[in-house]
Amino acid sequence: MKEFVYEGYKEGRKLSGKVRARDEVEAFKKLISEGVKPISIHEEKKKLSFKFFKKRVGEEELGFSLIQLSLLLSSGIPLTRALELVSSQTENENLKNAFFQVKEYVEKGYSLAEAFKRTGVFPEFLTEMLTGVQRGENLEYVFQVAGEYLQKVAEFKNKVITSITYPAFVITFSFLSLFVAVKFVVPRIAKVLEGFGKELPLITKLVILFSDVLTLFLLLLPLILLIFQFREKIFSRERLDYLTLKIPVIGKLNLYFNLSRFSRTLSMLLEASVPLSTALSIAVKSVSNVYLRKKLESLVSEVEKGKSFSALLSRENVLPELFVNLVETGEVSGELEKTLNLLAQVYEKQSDRLISFWLRLVEPLAILVIGITVGIIAFSVILPLTEISMGFKS
């Protein structure tokens, strides 16, 4: 079966999406049977994908829409009407079309879980939570919990991003200042000084050397970007992520972020009565660190065989002792989902403290870096000017 991308109209509304079929003719017939009038159908090709340019549905936006859906259902509005209202109020086109498609699939008789799954937009944990829920039964609770979870994940991500924004700004400012000085100011002054037969001061020579290195770097920049794009094929992503965990501050922040997200996802799925093995297989996908994810993925098959989750974590010896001990306590007490929710809160708070410490540390360091940068530039310019001035006097 191949996957085809289509655009078309249904009831005067423009739609776009994907359909699986053996060929274009079968894809066309499937769309017609669903009431869609296709205007274009073509087989989806795998393209070079630069992830930082790719449009996607944000967690915060999706979370807000799910909470909206929960509120509408709690108010007694029928499911299909609620989906239509959320679709009309959503600004993101991908999300707007996704909710409208869910409404159409539900009207055709698909289960709600299958309807959400077929869009390819909604996360897997949501479809799993909906699998065990009958239409109209606790739906508002599922959407409320899923929406709040996504918003918490987005809030935590934003905190992490905020913690690196200021240092990134300082580094960029320092780099641009050096770039302007070494490419345009210092070389001109150096030429004037050489015209007087004077030897360049050491600091000016070093700045000019940096200028040559910088020019080489800019020439190699396209190659560096290409290597970055294919870094997972050139280098082992697992090895890189393992080394990331060893970096001071950044390593701990990476670990806490992943443990918090994993714990909250697993807790939420267990609260929705999803079996542990299934919940674990979904929760591990929320772990962005490949080294940690592969370690956790290796446990899924053994959990399916009935082995203790905490015993397996203890055997792997990659997660903090606190995490393993509390998971064991949760298993023994029969309240694993509550324990995992507590762990998520613990690691979020530890991350907050780490981010606060990082920001307090970065501010004076940033001032120091800017001061050193400005000082180097000033001396590399002032010393040659002093030499020229003394040359005129003599």
Rounded to whole angstroms, how far apart are CA atoms 146 and 331? 24
| Closest alpha carbon to 128 in 356, 280, 333 | 280
190: Cβ contacts below 8 Å, ≥ 6 apart: 200, 204, 208, 384
Q: What is the pLDDT of residue 232?
A: 57
Domain residue limits, the chain: 2-47, 59-152, 153-394
pLDDT of residue 387: 67
Mean pLDDT of successive 10-residue stretches along the chain, which has 394 residues: 79 76 82 84 59 58 92 91 90 89 87 87 83 65 86 81 75 74 72 70 78 79 75 71 87 90 89 86 87 91 91 89 93 92 90 81 78 79 72 58
How far is residue 14 CA from its own chain's centroid? Answer: 30
Cα(first)–Cα(last) distance of the chain, in Å? Answer: 86
| Sheet (strand 2-10) strand order | 13-21, 2-10, 37-43
Residues β-bridged to residue 2: 21
59-152 domain in CATH 1.20.81.30? yes
**Contacts with 309 (C-beta within 8 Å, 6 or more apart), sequence order:** 276, 280, 299, 303, 327, 331, 336
pLDDT at residue number 55: 46
Q: Would you state the pLDDT for residue 50?
A: 38
d(CA 376, CA 23): 65
* CA torsion angle 197 199 201 205 (round to 10): 100
How far are the Cα atoms of 62, 83, 172, 217 from residue 102, in angstroms, in the given order?
Answer: 14, 7, 44, 49
Residue 16's DSSP bridge partners are 7
pLDDT of 391 reads 60
Q: What are phi and psi of 15, to 5 degrees?
A: -125, 155
CA atoms of 232 and 359, how far apart (whole Å): 31
Quote the pLDDT of residue 196. Answer: 66
CA distances to 14, 34, 131, 272, 343 from 25, rounded to whole Å, are 21, 14, 32, 41, 52
The three-state secondary structure class of 236 is: coil
Q: What is the per-residue burial (b if ≥16 Cβ within 10 Å, else e) of 268-304?
A: bbbbbebebbbbbbbbbebbebbbbbbbbeebbeebe
DSSP 366: H
